[in-house]
Chain A
Amino acid sequence: MNTQQHTVSRRDFIRISAFAGGGLVLGFNLFSSCSPQQGEGVIYDLNAFVKIDTNGAITLMNPNPEIGQGVKTALPMLVAEELDVDWKAVKVEQAGLDTEKYRRQIAGGSGSIRDSWESFRKAGATARQMLINAAAATWGVAPESCTTEKGQVVHADSGKKLGYGKLVEQAATMEVPADAAVKSITSFAIIGQWIPNVDNRAIVTGQYKYGIDTKREGMKYAALVRPPAFGQTLKSYDDTEAMQQQGVEKVLRIDNKIAVLGRSTWEVMQGAKKIKAEWEDGPTMESTADYLRNFRETVAKRPAGNPQRKDGDVQRAYQSGGTKVFEAVYEAPFLAHNTMEPMNFFADVRADGVELYGPIQTPERTRTTVAKLVDMPEEKVTVMMTRMGGGFGRRLMSDFVEEATLVSKAAGVPVNLIWSREDDMGGGYYRPMCTYRYKAAVDADGRLTAWQHQSVGTTGSPARAGSFPAGAVPNLQVDAQEYKTPVTTAPWRGPIHNFIAFSEQSFFDEVAHAVGKDPVAFRLEVLDQAKQQPTGELEYDPDRFAGVIKKAAEMAGWGASKGPNIFQGIAAQYSFNSYVAQVAEVEKRDDGKLKIKKIYCAVDCGIVVNKSGAENVVEGGIIDGIGHAMYPELTLTRGKPDQVNFNTYRMIRMAEVPEIDIQFIENDIAPTGLGEPGLPPAGPAVANAAFAATGVRLRTQPFIKSGLFA
């Protein structure tokens, strides 16, 4: 996932807003093409985010893709705060891809709020200033003597008031002020509140349309038959039976796949099952056992050189007198994303352009890819993002959009290409499979003096050089190696963090127990070391990191006995610029089996924009983290996924969900990532609690295979 950080300078913003509003009347009449409606006014764009109707109605645009992370509510909140409007009276609309108006229309890297915090508030403040200037000009008073009050400009001295709708026509002709001030944090009225999802009514009544619901005149549904195993190629196929399936109209070969088109989803999926295809194996048709063996052998060898990070000299530290050295190997399986809404996309490829409509986290990159694919200039390709039934990183990839494009092009009709669950789970782009070897040294004084991390996995780099305890240890080495495979992998919620946190936080716990230190106290000690005597680059703030650990420990009553059968474990992770610590509490039942009872979670993500959304994604992240650490794995037999539906791939369900208590650290730091950071600590917190309860160290996921859990 894109973890790159952008700083938004005011110049960036002015360029954007000047383009979008820039003193020109960009207003248009929405109803000019249909018969005029009673009481409806004319709508003006004050900038790319704010539309105001002369009848007073206010519409805010959400440019980023909504995958369930809540940006369609949270981003417009930033604008509304500064525009000074009544949130309940505001309407929010989803914008399509428009790179002239917007920047970074991506759902990924927990970056939407981080990247928009300044610019979106500025957009609201600028529009507000334009409305004030318009009112001041109307009344012949100084703009400084005017203020605003929930959708109207007020002149206190004269008691005059005018609603934004009455002012917008004039405001739209005014120069865009470059210096509109944003509010101070203490005067926020919308930011920081508990604001429900803007689409909630359409959602609970089943009216909201997802990509999979798209149906257009002349459109065909399409299903694809793809290689059953990674690395296979299509040799030949027979579609006789498929063509006899009711509702199937056409069968086409698309590269290495076969497209079945027809009038309904179920019928084309049935048709796809009736295709008799012959596939040819590639040179490597590996199984999970092969990967595991290979990976273990790789990390047992000396690293190949070119470490990602090297501070001091770990080898020397291991040899130092009185030093204790510890070592362990951790493993993480492939995991499917399993968005609840399977991959799908609408594509209409015509001679004069391409229309793309559906669930995608990366519309801009997708447009570029598709334009190349059909050999048309990018301006000929339009992309509209629908609300998505989950993303988790899967929809950063655009393979299914490319497929829909090729099918539409080949068939000459608009298509909605829909993957079955089997296609979706068996179709790749998994969370990479990785193996890690850790080694650490603690000197005679109980100080952590060396930390070594050597990894191999089916991804470019399975390691993160700056991950805890990097910066706190005088001798540190990180080596990572990619293992090439035909199995496709992709970012998966909390990329790399999701498996690094498990191994690193568990191994740290191992070391703490081995030297007889309390895992919380030992973490704080090491963070203090990072603060007092940092080594090399330090990517996290030790105080904020320690802050969440202390908070979670305090919430959990760490160290105090909660009864003979209750055990706790802690884990903490810094990711996407946010700090999260979690204490997991497990209960040992009479039969000796463990049950996860409760998670205490402390989060420092700076200012919380939407209390409801923030709590929702952190809570979801915790359960997601537990679920995927506990239950599923995607295994392969000669390149073929063994699990392709939820009957064999176990997802966490309601019965397994523990009680959860979340607290956010209150501060006035600009907001940082939140969609992902809640997930990584959950698995290791559970593993560490399981160790406390049983003395058994979990080093392989899923945990359920250990037999420790009920």
Chain B
Amino acid sequence: MKLHINGHVYDIDVPETTSLLDTLRIYLKLTGSKYGCGEGVCGACRVLVDGHATPSCITPVASVQHKEVVTIEGLAKDGRLHPIQQAFLDEDAFQCAYCTSGMVISAVALKNRNPRPSRQEIIDAMQVNICRCCAYPRIMKAISNAQS
């Protein structure tokens, strides 16, 4: 199976039903995407698939062949953080930080389709993502303040 992840092409031999999350975390050692619920209801495992924030825990790996997958590890370019990453860093927008990867991915997807989202649009885009530590106000601030 050929996978396009973070600008690299991987030729990988795993069962087609393997979750994209396990493929990333276990076989490709990209552990930035996290397991939180396995049911698509917490957002911790979100990755970009052709630019859309997608729960990798319920996405069979075979379904993303010929698609462009970007994970948290693939956002920075030449050591320069993506503006959303920079904004999370500037606002110190995490506590345990386990949700951060999924939060950043959801926010990047939002900003890509809507560079100047309103407060309500941010809420709508982030409603899937649970932050158990409840760092929500800073996450909101980071997304609002991030450079487009």
Contact = CB atoms under 8 A, between A and B. Distances in A.
A201 B31 contact: no
A208 B32 CA distance: 7
A647 B135 contact: no
Interface string B1-28: 0000000000000010011011001110
B42 to A, nearest CB: 5
Interface string A599-635: 0000000000000100011011111100100000000
A560 interface: no
Interface in A45-86: 67-70
A188 interface: no
A339 B132 contact: yes
Nearest to B139: A654
Interface in B86-110: 86, 88-90, 92, 94-101, 104
* Secondary structure class of chain A's binding surface, majority of residues: loop
B104 A204 contact: yes
B21 to A, nearest CB: 7
A206 B19 contact: no
B54 interface: no
Contacts of A247: 15
Contacts of B19: 266
Contacts of A654: 122-123, 126-127, 129, 136, 139-140
Contacts of B44: 340
Nearest to A68: B96
Contacts of A290: none
B36 interface: yes
Nearest to B98: A389
A199 B94 CA distance: 11
A278 to B, nearest CB: 25
B73 A620 contact: no
Interface stretch (A210-218, A236-244, A434-442): A210-218
Contact of B134 (A199, A619, A646): A619
Contact of A338 (B75, B101, B132): B132
B37 A620 contact: no
A147 interface: no
B98 A341 contact: yes
A660 B136 CA distance: 11
A267 B41 contact: no
Nearest to A679: B134
A234 interface: no
Contacts of A624: 133-134
A418 B38 CA distance: 12
A207 B132 contact: no
A422 to B, nearest CB: 8
Contacts of B88: 200, 203-204
A342 B72 contact: no
Contacts of B22: 264-267
A206 B95 contact: no
A94 interface: no
Interface residues of B, number: 59
Interface in B112-140: 122-123, 126-127, 129-140
B73 A205 contact: yes
A389 B34 contact: yes
A619 B137 contact: yes
B136 A623 contact: yes
A235 to B, nearest CB: 28
A421 interface: yes
B30 interface: yes
A206 B101 contact: yes
A339 B131 CA distance: 10
Interface residues on A, range: 35 or more
A663 interface: no
Interface in B29-85: 29-39, 41-42, 44, 71-73, 75-76, 81, 85
A645 B37 contact: yes
A387 B96 contact: yes
Contacts of A478: none
A168 B35 CA distance: 44
B26 A215 contact: yes
Given A264-B26, A267-B22, A210 B92 contact: no
B115 to A, nearest CB: 20
B58 to A, nearest CB: 10
Contact of A265 (B25, B33, B98): B25
Given A68-B97, A265-B25, A620-B133, A212 B92 contact: no
Chain B CB within 10 Å, residue with most, of A387, A392, A620, A645:
A620
A390 interface: yes
B37 A206 contact: no
A269 interface: yes
Contacts of B35: 212, 265, 342, 418
A209 interface: yes
Contact of B76 (A205, A620, A647): A205
A340 B133 contact: yes
A374 interface: no
A619 B19 CA distance: 35
B92 A197 contact: yes
Contacts of B100: 203-204
Given A265-B26, A266-B18, A339-B132, A204 B96 contact: no
Contacts of B137: 619, 623, 657, 660
Nearest to A199: B97
B39 A203 contact: no
Given A390-B96, A620-B135, A660-B137, A206 B123 contact: no
23 contacts: A201-B89, A205-B76, A206-B33, A207-B73, A210-B34, A213-B31, A215-B26, A246-B15, A265-B25, A265-B35, A266-B19, A266-B22, A339-B132, A340-B133, A389-B34, A620-B135, A621-B134, A624-B133, A645-B37, A646-B37, A647-B39, A653-B129, A653-B130
List the 9 closest pairs (A to B, CB-CB), nearest first. A206-B32, A68-B96, A389-B98, A206-B72, A623-B134, A68-B95, A213-B31, A266-B22, A340-B98
Given A645-B37, A651-B132, A655-B127, 15 more contacts: A205-B72, A206-B72, A209-B31, A340-B42, A340-B99, A340-B130, A340-B132, A620-B95, A623-B136, A624-B133, A647-B41, A651-B130, A654-B139, A657-B136, A657-B140
